[in-house]
Amino acid sequence: MKLLAAIALSLCLSTAHASQETDACDAHRQTLERQMATALNQDNSAQLDALQAELNKTNAECTPDAIAQKRADALRRHDSAVAEARNRLRDWEAELARARKKGTDQLNIAAWERKVKRARADLDRAVARPIQ
| DSSP-derived secondary structure for 67-118 | HHHHHHHHHHHHHHHHHHHHHHHHHHHHHHHHHHHHT--HHHHHHHHHHHHH
Q: What is the dihedral of CA 56, 58, 62, 67, to 10 degrees?
A: 130
Please give the radius of gyration of the chain, using alpha carbons only, rounded to the nearest integer.
Answer: 25
103's torsion region: left (phi>0), alpha (psi -120 to 50) or beta?
left
Q: Helices 106-128 and 64-102, interaxial angle, to 10°?
A: 170
Can you give the residue ranges of every domain in the chain?
A: 1-62, 68-132
HSE of 90, CA atoms in CB hemisphere, 13 A: 6
Contacts of residue 21, defined as CB under 8 A and 6 or more positions apart, other chains included, come to: 62, 67, 70, 71
Q: Show pLDDT as tens, one digit a residue, over the chain (132 residues).
A: 333 333 333 434 344 455 777 888 889 889 988 998 998 899 988 998 998 999 899 888 888 898 899 999 999 999 999 999 999 999 999 999 999 999 889 999 999 999 999 999 999 999 999 988
pTM of model > 0.95: no
